[in-house]
Amino acid sequence: MTERSEDTSAAVIARVLRRTGLGFPRGVVDAQTARLAALLDQPDLDPGTLDAQVSAATLTLWGDLQPPIVAAVLVHLSRADGQDQQDLERVLAWAERDDPDNPLARALTVRAAQELGTAVRYAEDQLRAAEAAVAMGGPAGALAAARALGAAVVALLDVDPEDFAAEIVDYIDDDQSAEALDELARITGDPETRLWARAALAALELGDAPAATLAVHALAAGEPPEDPAADAVWVPAILALVEEGLERALAQEVEDAE
C-alpha cells in the first residue's frame, strides 16, 4: 500500500516545523548555508547543484546541532498527543540519526538557508531605502545610515525584543534617557554578538545602494570598542529592537481594546 501523500516524510516534517518552530539558530549557520541561500534565490536552478549544496551545508551543521535538536524534539514530544505525537515520534527517529543525510537534518538546513536569505533581502532593502538620504550626506544622512544599520543587524542576527524584554522595559521606565541607553547597550552588547554583527554587515554589498553600503561598512569596520555604549553598530541595533518592542506593545494594546 502506498503511503498517503499527507503522511510523506516532507509533509510530516513540515507539520512539525510549523507547529514547533524547530530550527537551527542563526548564529551557527556558516558559509555553506549562505551559499545555499544564494542558490535558492537563483531562477532555473539545477536540481543536482542544489542537492549537492544542501548536502554540503548539512554536513557542516548536523554534527554540532544534532544533540540540541534531539533535546528539543523530546521536549515537544513530552507535551504532545494525537497527530502531533505521531509526527514527533517519526521526527525523533530522524533526529537520532548521526548521518547528516537524514530528511530532518536536510529540511532544517534548507529552512535555515531560506530564513537567512529572507534576512539578507530585508537588510538590503533597508540600505536601499536609506540610499538617497545617505548620498545627500549631513546629519540626516548619518541618521539614515544608522537606522538602516540597526534594522539590518536585528534581521541578520535574528534578535528579538523578547530576548532583552526586561532590559528594554527598564530603559523605557527610565524615560529613555541617554544614561539609560548607555546602560541598556552595556547590558545587552556582549563582545561576541557585536563581532557577529560586524561580520554580517560586512557581507552586504549592494551595487544599487553604494552610498549606504559604504556608510554601513565604515561604521562596522574594525574591532568593536570595549564599551558597548560607544559602539556605532550595537547602539543603533538595540534602538531598533526598542522601537520594534514598542510597536508590538502598541499593536497588542489595540488588539486587546477591540
Least confident of 79-93, 94-108, 169-183, 242-256: 242-256
Identify the three-state secondary structure at position 12.
Answer: helix
Please give the pLDDT value at position 252: 80
Compute the average pLDDT of residues 39-43.
89
Cell 551595487 belongs to residue: 207
**CA dihedral for 62, 65, 71, 77, sign (positive or negative):** negative
Q: How far apart are CA 245 and CA 136, in angstroms?
A: 30
Please give the pLDDT value at position 224: 95
Name residues whose C-beta falls within 8 Å of residue 39's C-beta, 6 or more positions apart in sequence.
45, 49, 50, 53
Compute the average pLDDT of residues 181-190.
96
Q: Which helix (H) or strand (E) holds 193?
A: helix 191-202
Please give the pLDDT value at position 253: 80
Alpha helices in 41-137 (DSSP H): 47-78, 82-95, 103-136
Compute the average pLDDT of residues 100-105.
95
What is the helix, strand, coil percentage profile of the chain, to 5?
80, 0, 20
Please give the pLDDT value at position 249: 83
Q: What's the whole-model pTM score?
A: 0.86
Q: Are 213 and 205 in contact (CB under 8 A)?
A: yes
Higher pLDDT among residues 3 and 156, named by residue:
156
Q: What is the end-to-end Cα distance of the chain in Å, rounded? A: 51
Name residues whose C-beta falls within 8 Å of residue 60's C-beta, 6 or more positions apart in sequence.
30, 32, 33
Reported confidence tier of residue 3, pLDDT bands at 50, 70, 90:
very low
Compute the average pLDDT of residues 182-209.
95
Reported confidence tier of residue 4, pLDDT bands at 50, 70, 90:
very low
| pLDDT above 70 coverage of the chain, percent | 98
Q: Are 30 and 53 in contact (CB under 8 A)?
A: no
Give the pLDDT confidence of 210-250 residue by residue, as tens digits.
999 999 999 999 999 999 999 999 999 999 999 999 998 88
Mean pLDDT of the chain: 92
Give the pLDDT confidence of 69-81 residue by residue, as tens digits.
999 999 999 999 9
Please give the pLDDT value at position 1: 36
Please give the pLDDT value at position 6: 52
**CA dihedral for 187, 163, 236, 120, sign (positive or negative):** positive
Radius of gyration of the chain (CA): 21
Asked whether the predicted pLDDT for residue 38 surpasses 60, the reply is yes
Compute the average pLDDT of residues 96-105.
95
Give the pLDDT confidence of 127-156 residue by residue, as tens digits.
999 999 999 999 999 999 999 999 999 999
Give the cell for residue 153.
543587524
Q: How far apart are CA 174 and CA 166, in angstroms?
A: 12
Please give the pLDDT value at position 77: 96
Closest CA to 145 of 238, 200, 196, 219: 219
DSSP letter (8 states) at residue 3: P
Reported confidence tier of residue 193, pLDDT bands at 50, 70, 90:
very high
Closest CA to 235 of 192, 201, 190, 184: 184
Q: How far apart are CA 139 and CA 89, in angstroms?
A: 57
